[in-house]
């Protein structure tokens, strides 16, 4: 049994919105690459749908940020809080 799956692909606007909030909250410029993905975890210990972000600041270690919730349902406050805890 697979523990991870893919949710239907959120629209590009939702991805750009979350990326913009990450850049603002973390002070990241356009030189910092990011990936924004949504996964569905079937493990009972998981929150279900999660948004997972990888941040690649130049010259620094990659940061992984997990945000409980679907990508298109997140708010700027959700993103900022998850980034502060990561």
Which residues span the domain enclosing 31?
A: 4-85
**For position 72, which CATH number holds?**
3.10.450
Q: How confident is the model at residue 82 (pLDDT cuts 50, 70, 90)?
A: very high
- 21 vs 6, residue with greater confidence: 21
User: What average pLDDT does the segment 60-78 reach?
Assistant: 93
Structure confidence at residue 46 (pLDDT): 75
Burial of 15 (0-12, 13-18, 19+ CB in 10 A): buried
Rounded CA separation 46/3 (Å): 10
Express each pLDDT in 26-64 by its tens digit: 999 999 999 999 888 777 877 788 999 999 999 999 999
Please check whether residue 63 is in contact with residue 85, taking contact to mean a CB–CB distance below 8 angstroms: no
Structure confidence at residue 6 (pLDDT): 54
Distances (CA, A) of 65 to 1, 2, 36, 38, 82: 25, 22, 10, 12, 7
Domain count, the chain: 1
């Amino acid at each position: 049994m697979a523990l991870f799956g893919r949710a239907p692909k959120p629209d590009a606007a939702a991805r750009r919105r979350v990326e913009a909030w990450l850049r603002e909250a973390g002070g990241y410029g356009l030189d910092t690459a990011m990936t924004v993905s949504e996964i569905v975890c079937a493990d009972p210990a998981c929150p279900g749908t999660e948004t997972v972000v990888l941040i690649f600041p130049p010259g620094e270690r990659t940061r992984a940020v997990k945000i409980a919730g679907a990508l298109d349902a997140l708010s700027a406050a959700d993103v900022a809080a998850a980034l502060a805890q990561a």
